Amino acid sequence: MGGLWVGVGWFGLARRRMADAAAVYAVRRDWPDWHTHDFVAPRLAQAEAERAAAAELAYWRRSPARPEVSVVRISVNDFRIHRDRRDCRAPDCAVASPNRAGQPRK
C-alpha cells in the first residue's frame, strides 16, 4: 500500500496513512554550509507543523551546524521521494510562502 504515515504516534495522538496525491505540511531544513535541504515532520495542519518547526529549532540550537527552518506545503509523493534523497539541491523543491493563509499581507 502506498502513501505515508502522517502525524505523531506518541502519547495517543492519531497517525493516518495519506495517499500520494494528498498535500501535507512539513518542516524544511536548509543547511547553509552545504547548500542542501531536507524535509522532516509531515503534519496535517500548518499549526502542527509550526510546532514541529519550533521543536526542530530547539533541537539544533546548540549545534555548530544550525539549519534554517521553515514550514512548507508539499505533496505526500514529493515528501516520500525526499526521504531517500540525501543532499538535495534541486531548485524546484517546495519553499515556504512569506505569509500564512488567512492573514492579510502587509
Asked if 25 and 49 touch (Cβ cutoff 8 Å), the reply is yes
The whole-model pTM stands at: 0.74
Name the residue with cell 516520500: 80
Please report, in tens digits, the pLDDT of each residue of the chain (106 residues total). 455 656 655 554 556 677 777 888 999 998 888 788 888 888 888 898 999 999 999 999 998 888 999 999 988 888 888 877 777 777 777 777 665 544 444 4
What local confidence, expressed as pLDDT, does residue 95 receive?
76
What local confidence, expressed as pLDDT, does residue 10 receive?
54
| CA gap 27, 21 in Å, rounded | 18
Is 81 strand, coil or helix?
helix
The alpha-carbon radius of gyration of the chain (Å, integer) is 14
Burial 42-60 (b: 16+ CB within 10 A, else e): bbbebebbbbbbeebeeee
| CA gap 23, 56 in Å, rounded | 21
Cell representation of residue 104: 492579510
What local confidence, expressed as pLDDT, does residue 92 receive?
73
